[in-house]
Structure 1
Amino acid sequence: MVNTLKAFKIRNDEVKELNLLLCGQIGAGKSSIINTINSILEGQISVGYQGNLESSVSQTLKFHKRQVGNAKDGFLPLVLNDTMGLEIDQSKGVHTDDIITALKGHTKNGYTFDPKTPIDENSPHYRENPSLSDRMHCLVYVIPADKISIMEDKVFKKMKKVRDAAYRMDLPHVILMTKVDETCTLTNKNLRHVYNSKKIKDKMLECQSALGVKMNCIFPVKNYHEECDINENVNCLMLHAFTRIVRWADDYVDKYSNN
């Protein structure tokens, strides 16, 4: 799967990078996903994006394009776009309109999120006429398995607003369900049991019920967070998800290449 990713080429020559947008509650593991994917590709633990683990507020304050790969081994034609975390309070966390605007390709890299006032056409970081290359090509919700049962309805309401916008754009959207090792004793002991775990299956069903995402688009994963060495079981779960996300994003670009 690593070789497949490293050899990947976008079918549409006009689009140089596939844009994948990460969206989720504070502490869900969005930035850790970026570190995990780069760790897998580099073959060693990457800590490129670090935050304050004890913080109860979002560590991502700007709209960041995170390239996949590195300067030494080469970058893949894939970009993970990190966003500020969603919060219960309407005046805190990323504004849903900012996520929707980013999906449509209007938001330039480096835009600073304002929880109370979303970006508008007067902002220097607003792109007036986005091309297919500027748009997001897949929406990736990041939901922690150990918290989904206690997540507030207000957070899901925000996610559903983003989901509805993605539906209207015919945009593929998936769920990376993180922290599966902290949710199930069986999975904690051995990640290979993740798809045999009734508890993990129940959490996937909760995700499906909350956001209406198909079960084959919900992927249980674990991020690197305390490990010092690469683990093949962690890698396989993430690669299983990521290779499919990339394929679906490429399908989207190919479908709308003439629009």
Structure 2
Amino acid sequence: MSLAQAAVLTCFKSTAIVPVPKLSSPTMPERPPPSLNEPWRKISWGDKLKDLQYVQKYQPEHSNIKSLRILLYGPVGAGKSSFINSVSNILRGRMSIPAAASATTSDKSFTTRYETHKIRKGKGQPKTFYPFVFNDIMGLEEGSDAGVSAEDIKLVMKGHVREGHKFNPVSPLSDRDRGYNPDPAPDDKVHVLVCVISANSAETKHSVLEKISNIRETAADLGIPQMGLITNIDAACGETEKDVKNVYKSKHLKKKMTDFSSAVGIPVNCIFPVKNYSHEIDINNDVDSLILSALRRMIDFGDDYIENMP
């Protein structure tokens, strides 16, 4: 063996084989779960009877008021008419449509007139109705010449708008118009004001929020209690779409409620998420529980206001 061959052999024997480390794939950060472990607000699911009986037995004690008046207002397409229909479904135990609602998406209000919606009790003769009514009005739209004006809603709250008045976005109601009620009775006035928005809608425009703020200031001056409704919770959240009982576990809906509260100034404990009846053809107890929870508070807040009326 030559000296060169010996040197090469010695080199191979002394060289250590170093293992190549395996390259680990970068770990993706885990997404936080979309739901809370525990609901942040309690609902007695499966036990709607208590709230239902409370609503059914309610009667205003003020001698001059036969019906507590609930005014629903908010952006176009928020689900105001659908909420009235949903309440009627629950109290009548079947599908009903006292308030005409549109199933199409539009930036223009489907409701144009001032309408009072009563809900009939049973099928007895003569007709009797629940001692609370809903008023459905034209929706709020972006711009000063579109949708119902804040000034018209102020007149509604004071009872100055006659039944059937057609709102004119360009020309608010004046005391010279036929639709003006110069001498409102206590029954004509609004006893609780409810702002309705959709959880599935885009961010509310600044001009609409200004109108809401303007309306809220007048309601506060009049002492009218105020609430908020967030509709379409199933369309806005996959977890709630699977099961409506996940509503108070949904982080997304909780943020919607807190954002709504910050934007319009209604406290979170006065805001209620609901699912209106839309595609169903039969009554659903879980849907009813959420709606009755909100309706009971409307009655409570409105009744407190009535008690303090002169």
The alignment status of 1:41 with 2:85, answered yes or no, reads no
For the residue of structure 2 that corresponds to 1:45, the secondary structure is: coil
Give the 4+ runs in structure 1 shifted more than 4 A. none
Match of 2:119 among 61, 64, 68: 68
Q: CA deviation at 1:154?
A: 1.0
- Residues 35, 48 of structure 1: 8 Å contact kept: yes
Please point out which of 153, 162, 181 is paired with 1:108: 162
SS at match of 1:233: helix
Displacement of 1:161 in angstroms is 0.7
Cα displacement (A) at 1:50: 3.0
Q: TM-score, normalised by structure 2?
A: 0.80
Counterpart position of 1:127: 181
Instruction: Please give the alpha-carbon distance, in whole angstroms, between the structure 1 residues aligned to 2:172 and 2:90.
Output: 35
**Aligned residue-pair number:** 256
Letter in 2 for 1:16: K
Structure having the higher strand fraction is 1
CA distance in 1, matches of 2:130, 2:68: 9
- Of residues 53, 65, 88, the one that matches 1:3 is 53
CA drift of 1:55 comes to 5.2
Equivalent residue, structure 2, for 1:161: 214
Q: Deviations over 1:158-190 (max 9, x none)?
A: 111101111111110100110111111111111
- For the 8 Å contact 2:72–2:196, the answer to whether it is kept is yes
Quick one: distance in 1 between partners of 2:248 and 2:56?
Answer: 27
> Given residue 209 of structure 1, which amino acid in structure 2 is its aligned partner?
S
Aligned-partner residue type, residue 65 of structure 1: T
Whether 1:99 aligns to 2:153 is yes
- AA matched with 2:86: T
Match of 2:282 in 1: 229
Partner of 1:24: 74
Give the one of 287, 293, 300 matched to 1:247: 300
Contact 1:132/1:253 (8 A) holds in 2: no
Q: Distance in 1 between matches of 2:156 and 2:99?
A: 21
Q: 1:181–1:188: 8 Å Cα contact kept in structure 2?
A: yes
Instruction: Measure how far apart 1:44 and its partner are.
Output: 1.1
The CA deviation at 1:41 is 0.5
Amino acid in the other structure paired with 1:207: F
Deviation at 1:193, TM superposition (A): 1.2
> Aligned residues: percent identity?
36
Amino acid at match of 1:15: I
Aligned to 2:266: 213
User: Radius of gyration: which is bigger?
Assistant: 2
RMSD: 1.3
CA–CA separation in structure 1 for the residues paired with 2:180 and 2:267? 33
- Give the Å deviation of 1:134: 1.6
| Residues in 2 aligned to 1:42 and 1:194: alpha-carbon distance in whole angstroms | 25
How far is 1:71 from its partner? 6.6
Deviates more, 1:69-78 or 1:89-98: 69-78
Write the letter of the residue equivalent to 1:102.
Answer: V
Deviation at 1:131, TM superposition (A): 3.0
Q: Secondary structure at the match of 1:246?
A: helix
TM-score by length of 1: 0.95
- In structure 2, what is the Cα distance between the partners aligned to 1:95 and 1:31? 18
* 1:78 and 2:132 matched: yes
Match of 2:203 among 150, 155, 180: 150
Pick the aligned partner of 1:193 from 241, 246, 271: 246
Q: Is 1:14 aligned to 2:64, yes or no? A: yes
Shift of 1:68: 2.4
- Separation in 2, partners of 1:238, 1:170: 25
Q: Secondary structure at the match of 2:290?
A: helix
Whole-Å separation in 2 of the counterparts to 1:119 and 1:174: 25
Deviations 1:23-76 (A, max 9, x none): 011110010011000000111111333344225221111000001235726310
The gaps in structure 2 that reach 5 residues or longer are 1-50
1:50 pairs with one of 96, 100, 119: 100
CA contact (8 A) 2:98 2:117 kept: no
Q: C-alpha separation between the residues in 2 aligned to 1:207 and 1:13? A: 37
- Aligned partner of 1:32: which letter? S
1:183-240: CA deviation from partner (whole Å, max 9, x where unpaired): 1111111111111111111000011001110111000001001111111111000000
**What secondary structure does 1:14 align onto?**
coil
